Amino acid sequence: MLSINLRRQPHLFFILLLLLLLVSTRSGLTQDASTTPTAPVTANDVRDVADELWCPLCSGVRLDACELKACEQMRDVIAEKLTAGEPKETIKDYFVAQYGPQVMGEPPMEGFNWLAWILPVVALIGGGVFVWQRTRKMVVAPDAETEAAPAVSPDAYQTQLDEELKHYD
Amino acid sequence: MTETTNPLSGPEATAQPGHRRAVRLWQGVFVLILLGFVGLLALRLVQTTQSEQRADGAAPAFTFTTFEGETITLDDLRGKGVVLNFWASWCDPCRDEAALLEATWRREQANGIVFIGLDYLDQEPAAKAYLEEFAITYPSGPDLQSAAARRYGIKGVPETFFIDPQGNIQELVIGPIVSQAKLDELLDKIRP
Amino acid sequence: MIFDIGYLVLLTALVLAAFGILAGYLGGHRRNTRLIQSSFNAVYAVAGLVLVASAILWYGLLSDAFQLSYVWNHSERALPAFYKFSALWGGQAGSLLFWCLLLSGFSAIVAFANRRHHQVLMPFVNSVLLTTSLFFLILLVFAANPFARVGFMPPDGQGLNPLLQNYWMIIHPVMLYLGYVGMAVPFAFAVGALISKRLDNEWVRTVRRWTLIPWMFLSAGIIMGSQWAYMELGWGGYWAWDPVENASFLPWLTGTAFLHSIIIQEQRGILKVWNVVLIWLTYFLVILGTFTTRSGVLESVHSFARSDVGPYFLVFLIIILFGFLWLLFDRLPLLRGEHTIDSYSSREAAFLANNWLFTGIAFATLWGTFFPMFSEILTGERISVAAPFFNKVNGPLFLLLLLLMGVAPLLGWRHTSATAFRKQFTIPILAAIVVGIFVFVAARSLYPVIGLAICGFVAAVIVQEYVRGALARRATTGENLLVAVVNLWSRNGRRYGGYIVHLGIAMIGVAVIGNEFYQQSLSVTLAAGESTTLGRYELVFQRMESNREANLIEFGAVVDAFSLDSGKQVGTLIPKRNIYDKTPDMPTSEVGLHMSPIEDIYVVLNGWDDGGASATFTIYVNPLTVWMWIGGIVLVIGTLIAAWPHSARRRTEAVRSLAYAAGDD
């Protein structure tokens, strides 16, 4: 009754989940760290950095989209620093040191804020394990019904008949 | 072909009392978590409706270094009345109160009152230019990492806290202080 | 005078609602026909009264009755009539009245449609729906009176928030409210089933359509909100994971899980606990969402001005949480599954995984939304949780969900044999590989390859199902393929309409991947006549234009776009900034947008110097983004197909047993 693939099925899901979680820790646009620009700094270079910072006064507004004076000042500072040849990561670190972690748009992975990241993962995996255990007990426990279940028939007419009967509403 | 119903199907088929205990335990955990969530929501609601009355209790500690290089902590100022003003060079309403604050500082500094200016989300060159423009002489410096701002829960600038010599917040003013009479009235609450 | 009547009308509705709740509960408990009928009458009466109160407020808005504080705050003489009408839901009190209007109307429709059916459940259903209405009426009468007076007669109003003077901003809240309100109905049935201990499939079968329609409105509302953000806010994206956006998304997540999970309960009699919990969570999240947007507990760009309604909501939320839990725990032994899950490769197992994933995503989103609040209370520090967090946590989960969406229809009930696996999975997997290779060659990055390959998989599954279904019909009835497809819709609308919905979701997935991973952007200042290039386009700034409307001035920059490959003009884009007379420091903007199936050209006007000699723009090229809007339309069409009522609906138990006996497909 149980075909060969099934044993591997649940594990596949978890491996896929883990893979995807690892692989997507770098989401969004792929950017390399800017090197020292030899050309004058353009508004576009500033926007490139501002794209990855968040307005510290608003909630959820990206720095390049914010029209407040404080944000304009921040963009001016970015322009100055880019002209001085500082790479993007250094500029971002500067703002975190100067203004605080709210410019990063995500909780830093330290102290209490670890909880922000860990809890969803723990809850998801914990819940998944719980569901899987319950399912396993049902699947593995011998049940008079399941042994009587007939094999699948790929007959088209049979399929059609089952479709109609089963999904009549 | 008939379907057999199996009322005790699944893991409940064995060890009934033990299982019931386990179920009750999980139910209890679930209820506790929900209670916690609701409790925090309630607390938050109370906090936000009282945000105008944040003037309560001990003033959170802070440390900062002035633009001249002097390091000051709130503890150092115990025994004096502290006027803690959050400002920024990009803040237009702050300009409306700058002159009044400086003038009152000059008048009161011998009376055990100290004015402190914490610069919020700002840059040094612009801040220094602002200080020069209004000839501000009371200790002013950047609030790095917005550490003090976050502890005082400010939502914007200008916000001014009046802290008494025992280190408790007596009053909070959101927005610029433009009336000398009002400022004097507030100062009277924190005189040593 | 008439506005005082409006207040009294609301007060009357409140009293009648309270009566109706008691009548329904007692009547249902004692099977007392007269009390039961009273509960129905109460539902109809409350709906009528709230309609009258709403009409009075509309009258106040349209007749510029500025002595009413609500009208004064949200309207002005120069406002076009259309926006005066929509100002009903533009502010706190009015939108609560609108909520109540839709809810009481919906309750009346549900009551009327079921007045001769479900005799045991309906009294409790009426009670629960009236309880919700009662809550909103209490708010309106005691905390947010739409008919409150200013105390004098102002000459003019303060005007409607400029951001709301927009077609999208009119229709999007209506859609969302319809979705929110509608979700109270299946919850009412669930509570009715629990109270009356009628925990067989009666309630589940009844609520299917009553859930599907609000779900459609909620989905449409969310997508419209995204479209508004895309076209008006000008930051190149459509979803910011703002607390209010999340408030609308959370009930959608649990509601979608519920919609799927009840299929399993209908077919196999399991997942009963899941179903009541999912619909309870949906209802709770609806009320929680309404609470967070109005109480100030979370900071958001969307929030209403803070008011006193918070504590009332908190009490209601506590009642919903603990009242329902008590009921659930008490009835838990009655919710045992009738069968079991037979194997991991069954459709039931896939739907269980579906529930797990949706709940996981909902939890992660709820956690991320409230974390700043937890952080501030527990540590005193303010943290911001924005898109980077949600993308990292939810991104892979959505990918898994997409995969599951493709896999689940291919699995059989109870188990899937090796033969069936081969037959079902071969073509879709091949399609996924082909798409994956194509994407990898075209644009070498790994994550979109996986995502688009999965979307290809899903699309292939849907096409395969349609082809097989149509061919099967043709084999038995001889009709041609087109007629066969139409018959698939009319006979198995639930399944084949559902596939169309999944197709819409896959299209949205494609748009999200395109916009997230392949967006190009550029900030530039151009003098009049000057041009710049981005992607495959050349953009020329021609001139500035200005246009005077009733209560604002519109400034637009005319930008022509040319294809670099062919040199031909692709379109003219006119990004705008609107300066409102009453609120000149709150300008709104409109994006200059040219859409095509491959990519959008998206131009934002940041500023210009006097005379329009030069202007500053931010330009984006957004690949595949149009598929989000197309996907939304496809989703709505699919839902309509799935929900469409047909004749000859009677299904007997014998037929169902026969279906199981005959086996899987």
In terms of CA atoms, which chain C residue is nearest residue A8?
C344
In 3D space, the residue among B17, B156, A6 whose CA is nearest the CA of residue C415 turns out to be A6
Overall domain count for chain A: 3
**Does residue A166 register a pLDDT over 60?**
no
**Does residue B71 register a pLDDT over 90?**
yes
Q: Give the tens place of pLDDT for each residue, C215-262.
A: 999 999 999 999 988 988 888 889 989 888 999 999 999 999 999 999
* Distance in angstroms (rounded) separating the CA atoms of residues C314 and B48: 14
> Of the candidates A86, A106, A126, which is a domain's last residue?
A106
Residue B189 Cα, gap to closest chain C Cα (Å): 26
**Does residue C651 register a pLDDT over 60?**
no
Q: Are residues A141 and A155 in the same domain?
A: yes
Q: How far is CA B63 from the centre of its chain?
A: 14
Q: Are residues A94 and A78 in the same domain?
A: yes
Residue C382 Cα, gap to closest chain A Cα (Å): 7
Asked if residues C530 and C541 have their Cβ atoms less than 8 Å apart, the reply is yes
Q: Are residues A52 and A101 in the same domain?
A: yes
Q: Are residues A89 and A119 in the same domain?
A: no
B and C: number of Cβ contacts within 8 A = 76
* Dihedral angle sign, alpha carbons of residues C12, C14, C15, C17: positive
* Distance in angstroms (rounded) separating the CA atoms of residues C618 and C231: 14
Q: Give the tens place of pLDDT for each residue, A84-143.
A: 999 999 999 999 988 888 888 888 888 888 889 999 999 999 999 988 888 888 877 655
Confidence band (pLDDT; 50, 70, 90) for B9?
Answer: very low
Asked if residues B157 and B130 have their Cβ atoms less than 8 Å apart, the reply is no
Over chain B, what is the mean pLDDT? 84
Q: Which two tokens stand for residue A76?
A: 């001016």
| Range name among C259-273, C290-304, C414-428 with the lowest pLDDT average | C290-304
Q: What is the pLDDT of residue A57?
A: 83
Count helices and strands (H / E) in chain B. Answer: 5, 7
Residue A80 Cα, gap to closest chain B Cα (Å): 12
Q: Are residues A56 and A102 in the same domain?
A: yes
A99 to B1: CB separation less than 8 angstroms, yes or no:
no
Q: Who's near A29: CB < 8 A, 6+ residues apart?
A: A51, C517, C519
* Dihedral angle sign, alpha carbons of residues C451, C456, C459, C464: negative
Q: Are residues A26 and A60 in the same domain?
A: no
* Dihedral angle sign, alpha carbons of residues C89, C92, C98, C102: positive
**Does residue A21 register a pLDDT over 80?**
no
Q: Give the tens place of pLDDT for each residue, B129-139.
A: 999 999 999 99
Q: Any CB–CB contact under 8 A between B9 and chain A? A: yes
Q: What is the pLDDT of residue B43?
A: 85
Q: What is the pLDDT of residue C665?
A: 35
Mean pLDDT, residues C381-403 taken together: 90
Residue B87 pairs in a beta bridge with B119
For residue C10, give the amino acid letter: L
Exposed, middle or buried, C333 (CB in 10 Å: 0-12/13-18/19+)? exposed
Q: Are residues A49 and A94 in the same domain?
A: yes
* Distance in angstroms (rounded) separating the CA atoms of residues C586 and C579: 7
Q: What is the pLDDT of residue A101?
A: 84
Q: Are residues A84 and A55 in the same domain?
A: yes
B121 to A56: CB separation less than 8 angstroms, yes or no:
yes
Residue C556 pairs in a beta bridge with C545, C576
For residue B132, give the amino acid letter: E
**Which CATH number fits the domain that encloses residue A97?**
1.10.8.640
Q: Are residues A49 and A97 in the same domain?
A: yes
Q: Are residues A20 and A50 in the same domain?
A: no
Pairing of strands C520-527, C614-623: antiparallel
> Which residues of chain B have a CB within 8 Å of the CB of C657?
1-3
Mean pLDDT, residues C252-280 taken together: 94
Q: What is the pLDDT of residue C234?
A: 82
**Does residue C653 register a pLDDT over 50?**
no
* Distance in angstroms (rounded) separating the CA atoms of residues C128 and C190: 10
> Of the candidates A56, A74, A106, which is a domain's last residue?
A106
For residue B161, give the amino acid letter: F
**Which member of A9, A116, A152 has the closest CB to residue C664?**
A152
Q: Which two tokens stand for residue C148?
A: 């409150």
In 3D space, the residue among C474, C492, C503 whose CA is nearest the CA of residue C630 turns out to be C503
Q: Which two tokens stand for residue C507?
A: 């299209």
Q: What is the pLDDT of residue B116?
A: 94
Residue A19 Cα, gap to closest chain B Cα (Å): 30
Q: C294 or B94, which is more confident?
A: B94
Q: Are residues A138 and A118 in the same domain?
A: yes
Q: Any CB–CB contact under 8 A between B43 and chain C? A: yes
In 3D space, the residue among C495, C505, C487, C461 whose CA is nearest the CA of residue C266 turns out to be C495
DSSP code per residue over C70-89: HHHHH--TTS-HHHHHHGGG
CA distances from C415 to A129, B90, C411 (A): 21, 66, 7
**Does residue C35 register a pLDDT over 90?**
yes
> Which residues of chain B have a CB within 8 Å of the CB of C321?
34, 38
> Which residues of chain B have a CB within 8 Å of the CB of C316?
none
Mean pLDDT, residues C60-67 taken together: 92
Is it true that the peptide bond before B158 is cis, omega within 30 degrees of 0?
A: yes
Over chain A, what is the mean pLDDT? 72
Q: Give the tens place of pLDDT for each residue, B138-158.
A: 999 999 988 888 888 788 889
Asked if residues A82 and A49 have their Cβ atoms less than 8 Å apart, the reply is yes
Asked if residues C556 and C546 have their Cβ atoms less than 8 Å apart, the reply is yes
> Which residues of chain A have a CB within 8 Å of the CB of B95?
none
C660 to B3: CB separation less than 8 angstroms, yes or no:
yes
Q: What is the pLDDT of residue A152?
A: 42
Mean pLDDT, residues C157-185 taken together: 87
Asked if residues C429 and C406 have their Cβ atoms less than 8 Å apart, the reply is no
Q: B59 or C364, which is more confident?
A: C364
**Does residue A31 register a pLDDT over 80?**
no
- Among residues 124-153 of chain A, which lie with CB inside 8 Å of chain C? 124, 127-128, 131, 135, 138-139, 141, 143, 145-146, 149-153
Residue C616 pairs in a beta bridge with C525, C607
| Range name among B13-27, C226-240, C371-385, C603-617 with the lowest pLDDT average | B13-27
Q: Are residues A2 and A31 in the same domain?
A: yes
Residue B108 Cα, gap to closest chain A Cα (Å): 32
* Distance in angstroms (rounded) separating the CA atoms of residues B95 and B90: 9
Q: Give the tens place of pLDDT for each residue, C541-598.
A: 999 998 998 778 999 999 999 999 888 999 999 999 988 887 787 788 889 999 999 9
DSSP code per residue over C32-84: -HHHHHHHHHHHHHHHHHHHHHHHHHHHHHHTT-TTBHHHHHH--TTS-HHHH
Strand order in the sheet with B113-119: B140-142, B113-119, B81-87, B159-163, B169-174
User: Which of C138-142, C370-374, C412-416 reaches the highest mean pLDDT?
Assistant: C138-142
Over chain C, what is the mean pLDDT? 89
C657 to B1: CB separation less than 8 angstroms, yes or no:
yes
Mean pLDDT, residues C264-279 taken together: 92
For residue B59, give the amino acid letter: A
| Range name among A10-14, B29-33, B79-83 with the lowest pLDDT average | A10-14
**Which member of C419, C519, C525 has the closest CB to residue A154?**
C419
For residue A91, give its domain range: 43-106
